[in-house]
Amino acid sequence: MRNILKEKGFKITPARLAILQAFTKNKLPMSAEDVCKKIKSKKINEVTVYRTLSSLEKGGILKRVDLRKDSVYFELADQHHHHIVCTNCNMIEDFKNLEIEKAIEKVWKNIITKSSKFKSIREHSLELFGLCRMCM
Ligand SMILES: [Zn+2]
Ligand SMILES: [Zn+2]
């Protein structure tokens, strides 16, 4: 965690460390409220949590995940993957799929050559929404 912060040019602070630790342990996307709950014992106030999340996002350590919820969700930006979200109980599962990655790359090249407004695509996100086994 210290290394990630240093690599990206961040000074090490207790809040940054605690928040990154929470993300490393939890692995799944978390909202600011989730983070606050996880690091409650560290006595870091909410404003600091919000501010730290946003600066870690700008620094490329965290990234935003759109889970179609009211709160903004974040996760570590280190490994590209996608999510399945239960629309009933909000359970989240990560998944990786090489075929999807290949297909998206192939398709986007095609899309971009036909687009009159866009010249390049740099990244993509894909979230699937459904019902988990418990909610079926
Ligand atoms: Zn569910
Ligand atoms: Zn992908």
Residues whose CB is under 5 A from ligand 2 (ion)?
A: 101
Burial-class residue 17 by CB neighbours within 10 Å (0-12, 13-18, 19+).
Answer: middle
pLDDT value at position 92? 94
pLDDT tier for residue 14 given thresholds of 50, 70 and 90: very high
Q: Which ligand is nearest to the CA of 95?
A: 2
Q: How many whole angstroms from 62 Cα to the centroid of ligand 2?
A: 16
Chain region(s) in the chain for CATH 1.10.10.10: 1-78
Q: What is the pLDDT of residue 116?
A: 96
- Give the closest residue to 93 by CA, choosing from 60, 50, 135: 135
What is the reported pLDDT for 3?
86
> Which tens digits make up the pLDDT trace of 70-128?
899 999 998 999 999 999 998 999 999 999 999 999 999 999 999 999 999 989 999 99
* Overall fold of domain 80-136: Dna Ligase; domain 1 (3.30.1490)
Q: Where in the chain is the domain with CATH 3.30.1490.190?
A: 80-136
CA 62/CA 52 separation, integer angstroms: 10
Tell me if the domain spanning 1-78 has CATH number 1.10.10.10: yes
Q: The whole model's pTM is what? A: 0.86
